[in-house]
Amino acid sequence: MDEARRWAESANAWQNWAEGMANPADRINAPLLDLAGAKAGQAVLDLAAGVGEPSLSQAHRLRGRGMVVASDLIPAMLTGLARRCMAQPHPPLPVAADMRALPFATAGFDIILCRFGLMFVPDTGAALTEMRRVLRPGGAAALAVWGPRTQNTLFDRLGRRLATDHGPLADRLLAPLFRFADPAELVHAAYKAGFTAVRHQPLCTTVPARLDQPFWRPTLEMAFSPLLAMLSRDELAGLHDQISADFAADADEQRRFPVTLSVHLLRMET
């Protein structure tokens, strides 16, 4: 499926769940922003910002001492970001753009952030080359990418249920998430695009889940919106029942699902 269409069809779900997912999101944002290390007065660009992760956290950290631009391909994602910013004294500046052709001057940013975005751009080289162009010499890009599907079991279990009952689209929607599960793939692509220093670190956390609650709904709706949109109301209700039954079959009443990702720091040495 075309990525632009996928994300346009997913934007409502991302808007709906943005606030509910803000706390788990911050557990990933914090190490990513620490690694990026933006300082007061610097210009930060968040690419594939979606509804504001991690640009909202970055803007909160800088408190107006610097600039944060939040950019995404899909305007409806940025509408969600704008809604979340209403009470923010120093909101990020939203700019709709494809990260393969950015509407920004060369060397205009000190730091680039990209959380779970690069894997959805088929032409990775073009996106990395644009990142390098808009970074000033000595600047850095901090990227978060998912680890292997088998180590992100909530995605995996939902994907298997959907693939069984509703065909191969589930696998097609999941596959890009894990494109950089082997960190060497991204390291190689970054050097090829001209970054001169790259380091990465694995990050493992867990999502707590109360099995008496539909804790899986945000993941289901944010990752699989285009497939869910094809189901009738009855089919959707049946799917929810089936997923609840799958998880209820687990022995523990309170479970934690592993979440595995890598954060990469790409640098341009002066």
Asked if 81 interacts with ligand SAM (CB under 6 A), we say no
Q: Based on CB atoms, which residue is closest to ligand SAM, 117 or 139?
A: 117
Q: C-beta of 121: minimal distance to ligand SAM in Å?
A: 4
Quickly list DSSP for the chain: --HHHHHHHHHHHHHHHTTTTHHHHHHHHHHHHHHH---TT-EEEEET-TTTTTHHHHHHHHTTSSEEEEEES-HHHHHHHHHHTTT-SSPPEEEE--TTS--S-TT-EEEEEEES-GGG-S-HHHHHHHHHHHEEEEEEEEEEEE--GGGSHHHHHHHHHHHHHH-THHHHHHGGGGTT-SHHHHHHHHHHTT-SEEEEEEEEEEEEEETTS-TTHHHHHHHHHHHHTTS-HHHHHHHHHHHHHHHHTSS-SEEEEEEEEEEEEEE---
Asked if 72 interacts with ligand SAM (CB under 6 A), we say yes
Asked if 224 interacts with ligand SAM (CB under 6 A), we say no
Using CB under 6 A, which of the segments 81-89, 94-102, 201-209, 239-247 binds ligand SAM?
Answer: 94-102
Asked if 104 interacts with ligand SAM (CB under 6 A), we say no
Using CB under 6 A, which of the segments 79-87, 110-118, 150-158, 184-192 binds ligand SAM?
Answer: 110-118
Q: C-beta of 269: minimal distance to ligand SAM in Å?
A: 26
Q: Based on CB atoms, which residue is closest to ligand SAM, 7 or 155?
A: 7
Using CB under 6 A, which of the segments 45-53, 147-155, 165-173, 246-254 binds ligand SAM?
Answer: 45-53
Asked if 112 interacts with ligand SAM (CB under 6 A), we say no
Using CB under 6 A, which of the segments 37-45, 96-104, 208-216, 239-247 binds ligand SAM?
Answer: 96-104
Site for ligand SAM, rule CB under 6 A? 3, 7, 48-50, 53, 72-74, 77, 98-100, 115-117, 120-121
